[in-house]
Amino acid sequence: MLPAASLIQRLKIYADRSSLPRFNKQLEDLNMQELKPLEALERLLGADWAHLRRARENTARKKAELLKKVAPLAPVDTSIVAFGSVARDEVTKGSDIDWTLLIDGLANSEHFDVSHDIASALEDLGLNPPGGEQIFGGISISHDIIHKIGGGNDTNKNTTQRILLLLESVPIGPSDAYDRVVKQVLKRYVTEDWGWMHKQVTVPRFLLNDIVRYWRTMAVDFAYKRKERRGNGWGVRTIKLRISRKLTFASGLIACFSCDMDESLKEAISGGSELDLTHPAVDFLVKQVSLSPLDRMANLLAKYEPLHQAANELFTSYDGFIGILDDENSRDRLKSVIPAEADQDLVYQQARELGHSFQNALDKIFLEENGTKLYPLMKKYGVF
């Protein structure tokens, strides 16, 4: 592995050449990996999540490659946005690259050509292309993501891009367009939440309901893909739904519930008028969604000692899951296993047990009395 100091120095040299906006912040993010919430929790618990550490190292190298090869391609008023394992800091052997060219400006006929250039650059880096659903790997328009929330025009593609933009995304290079769109989406969720704006609730229910809707849609689409693909890739998609996809959903719940659990935000809301409630809420949520799903979970769980045992089980299970994906033979086996063979397949059984342990930890966090507000909030907002 390239030493961290060498990696950072190399990126600084490139940043001086390119003058990309906010490049220094992205360099700082790479340099401060060890101080992120997940690593802090690992130290606090005395745990050893070696697979997760290796995945983050892989991600840092991959982001460095992307910054050098792809970031300069972004036109004015656009951001190249990565989703999936790159955004979750979970790059393993065989990880693909989900991306979009996010446009937040005037229409330009060159945008289509740029998206092809990006795809070619990613192919040159040896990265696997996005899945076949055509949700990623092209152009996204900010107007659709911001304004088409709900209703007949809010397609599966639009919903997926919007929710994942909030819950697991990262800009590669210039981030101005990305930052604007994320903030405007969150502003819509807050300003159009009647209960929030009238200080009757401190959980953004509009946002929460959309996250829940996305999770249910994803689960339904899993059954659709199983039939459409005639079982191809069933094993790995099943395990991902039970673990990594579920993590993204759970981290979305944490982002929403944290609004009620953060005393400084509640104080700012209670002391303000209806006209100035938006700013502290949106700013708080921007900070929440800027964290990866694992960091978002770790950031909250570390604060409550009664949750530490469940947190250890949660992240230890996830660490094992990442270990399976990072082993080429195990990953290939998961891709090829079919339902009729699952009960006798050792790799699938190992992954399924990790899924059970992961769910058991989530039950302790969200569905059992544990001395925190998570269980009452889950009953009140997560079900009805």
The model's pLDDT over 29-46, given as tens digits with 9 standing for 90+, comes to 544 445 799 999 999 999
What per-residue confidence (pLDDT) applies to 277? 65
**202 within 8 A of 259, measured Cβ to Cβ:** yes
DSSP annotation of 103 = E
Q: Which helix (H) or strand (E) holds 80?
A: strand 78-82
> What is the percentage of the chain residues whose pLDDT exceeds 90?
71
Name residue, tokens 């289509």: 112
pTM, entire model: 0.87
What domain count does the chain have?
1
Higher pLDDT: 93 or 317? It is 317
Burial class of residue 73 in the structure, from the number of CB atoms within 10 Å of its CB (0-12 exposed, 13-18 middle, 19+ buried): middle
CB 283 within 8 A of CB 296: no
Beta strands (DSSP E) in 83-229 are 99-103, 138-141, 170-172
Model confidence pLDDT, tens digit, residues 263-316: 888 888 776 665 566 788 899 999 999 999 999 999 999 999 999 999 999 999
Give the DSSP H or E segment for 78: strand 78-82
d(C-alpha 338, C-alpha 356), whole Å = 19
Q: What is the pLDDT of residue 377?
A: 95
pLDDT in tens, 134-145: 688 899 999 999
Give pLDDT tens digits for 153-206: 999 999 999 999 999 999 999 999 999 999 999 999 998 988 777 766 789 999
Interacting residues of 298 by C-beta distance below 8 A, sequence separation 6+: 37, 38, 40, 41, 311, 315
- Res 128: pLDDT: 75
Among candidate residues 6, 83, 49, the one with its CA nearest the CA of residue 314: 49
Domain that holds residue 312: 4-174+181-383
pLDDT at res. 253: 98
**In this predicted model, what pLDDT tens digit does every residue of 59-117 receive, in sequence order?**
999 999 999 999 999 999 999 999 999 999 999 988 888 999 999 998 888 999 999 99
